[in-house]
Structure 1
């Protein structure tokens, strides 16, 4: 993607608007006609990530089918196009170029995977095309005051710096901590979570932080746990994803830590409970963030329509559900547009008021906020339940958690 492409797109938009004023029937923006709006993405639907990408794509298709079968949005049906990038950054860049310049999509919906997002984010910004939902928690999406080219980025699922801020709020607001201990991995996920925790602790001004770093996948984390034990922290935050979470949780139990632990939503999984339950049960409690509630009544609508797009049973598939959520957020912005549908009018509409996740909390894009999910619930590890976790607290934002 280069500046010539951006200038070409701007020129096309100007000419389209001029011809519209003269009474010609043309697109008012790229990918838009009087009866359709075209969106697209590239997803890994083959290779190692296909078990994630295939249901994610099915969820998007199911939501758009529901919308189209009910008449579309403001007289327009949604046309969805897709390419398989195999989770390969180079193929992802090529697919993005084809989507924007050959398929001429109006918006990206559901940009998929950390490597591909990292390789293409600047291209998206340079092209100026709205991008709604990213299937990654990478911290490069986090922005508290997006302006100019940065404005086109609209994350939905949790991004790690924001989740870290929420973790710090739980430690203070729910567990009344004055000192929090953080064990984080020396990778993007761990460092992004740490960044958010420290940012919120500094903002609050009354939460001390003790941090310990471990390598991703480390087998021996005893020194880090000993440090937090010696510091007598009130709450432990495990800022590590599934490859390292079990080792940290087990070592906390081994060393007799009895303080509550909080971890990322990524670890709120029955497999993680199975991995650590014999080491932590009866010693200390583990809590984890959640951003999707699959017990919501809206699940019945999802289950009805997902059957229309997949022969596989995706009725409780988390990846398909997130695809549904991605399409929902795009459509909610589309519904709000009054008058001509352009990139500018669409972004204005999406930013005009918070958007409700049908299975979670609200997201506010106003004033340049690009924070991903801003309200999360809290689950508690429960080995006696089939899911391995049980609801503990409902969806709250930082201010509500802190009682502000």
Structure 2
């Protein structure tokens, strides 16, 4: 295992001592005591992103509950203090710097789409950051970790290959141009389609609550697109698809990056019937032993979330697992540098079997995820079916 210069110099002083109390006293870092390590937790509890992040805290609490019940990490309980960035990059910088400078946290768990506000500052301070990479900035700094990177500077061929296999020939895109994550993801998916020979014939801006699904549907119909790619929240994606079908469009493939949630089907299922959602983690329908561990953790430490089979909760559970793995890899002499260096050295991270494919956390830095599992919403809009074979893997495009 790689050991950084900073960690090595500290360990020469204290880490050879077999007494854990002496080790903890000598080898420390911000937020670290003999008994605990404190993490800062930033999430969008209000603002534009709040609606899809309501289950995040339950997933975090469940994974930390499991870790702490097993004795914590190297004998230290993991605790956190949290802040709401209101989905605003300026506020994200304010609350992140407060957690680091004033609350003296070791590192940050960022479950937000506004981390671009604090990324440069956190990198400059050498603070480890773990979160869900839904902004391109996650590809720029080595102190920032995510198990998947759907929004990076490059696209992958996976989605174009999948849509082509279902007979797609030309595509209409629908995104919120004013939101970077929506627009960037739409652009990258468009590149993937183009790489497979699928022509983009319409690129539409949609503002929830203001745009007319009927008019957007008519534009999709007029474009004669047979692939519909929608990077919107599930309720808006359902409205757009209903508008397109009502206008006479008959897409062979409708691709969504979000919406894998039974509650979504309960509300909007008929409007999403026949669409495809892609995942970088194994769906609950696969019912692996890792899913049973997750369900048990949710029942014990986050029983308020019902049902627990929600993609956002599972995503935050996996993200927190990555944080725990980083603390484990850092060793008894817990330093920020050791966390960053040693977690980058992990070659086969799979979240104990929950990911679609193992991830090399160094080789994958700055690169998008290439393997996904596709789920098809059944004809009545009541359940998800796993599309086989799975996963579907592609290549990073130039």
Same fold by TM-score greater than 0.5? yes
Show CA shifts across 1:329-364 (max 9, x none): 112233334674433332232222131134332333
Instruction: Give the total of aligned pairs.
Output: 372
Structure with more contact order per residue of length (Cα contacts < 8 Å, sep ≥ 6): 2
Conserved 8 A contact 1:27-1:34: no
Tell me the CA shift for residue 312 of structure 1. 2.0
1:298 partner SS: helix
Once the two structures are superposed, the pairs formed by residues 1-400 of structure 1 within 5 Å of their partners are: 20=14, 25-33=25-33, 36-43=36-43, 55-73=55-73, 75-85=74-84, 87=86, 89=88, 92-109=92-109, 111-115=110-114, 117-134=115-132, 138-143=134-139, 146=140, 150-156=141-147, 159-160=150-151, 166-172=158-164, 174-175=165-166, 177-188=168-179, 189-201=181-193, 204=195, 206-217=197-208, 218-219=211-212, 220-229=215-224, 233-242=225-234, 244-270=236-262, 285-292=274-281, 293-294=283-284, 295-310=287-302, 312-314=304-306, 316=308, 318=310, 319-337=312-330, 340-352=333-345, 353-357=347-351, 358-361=353-356, 362-367=358-363, 369-371=365-367, 374-384=370-380, 386-387=382-383, 389-393=384-388, 395-399=390-394
Q: TM-score, normalised to structure 2's length?
A: 0.76
Q: What CA distance in whole angstroms lies between the structure 2 residues aligned with 1:401 and 1:85? A: 34
Q: Distance in 1 between matches of 2:196 and 2:159?
A: 15
Q: In 2 relative to 1, CA 15–125 (structure 1 residues): closer, same or farther, beyond 3 Å?
A: same
Work out whether residues 235 and 260 of structure 1, in 8 Å CA contact, stay in contact via their aligned partners in 2: yes
Conserved? CA contact 2:155–2:191, under 8 Å: no
Separation of aligned partners in 2, 1:178 and 1:46: 40
Asked if the contact 1:142–1:371 (Cα under 8 Å) also holds between the matched residues in 2, the reply is no
RMSD of the alignment, in Å?
3.9
Q: 1:86 and 1:399 mapped to 2: Cα distance?
A: 35
Change (3 A) 1:266 1:56: same
Give me the whole-angstrom Cα distance separating, in 2, the residues matched to 1:190 and 1:54: 19
Query: Structure 1: 5+ residue runs without aligned partners?
Result: 1-11
Could you tell me the TM-score, scaled by structure 1's length?
A: 0.75
Tell me if structure 2 keeps the 8 A contact 1:59–1:321: yes
- Distance (whole Å) between structure 1 residues aligned to residue 216 and residue 71 of structure 2: 56
CA distance in 2, matches of 1:223, 1:54: 33
- How far is the alpha carbon of 1:378 from its aligned partner? 0.9
Distance 1:163 1:244, change over 3 A: farther
SS at match of 1:393: coil
Distance (Å, rounded) in 1 between the aligned partners of 2:123 and 2:30? 16
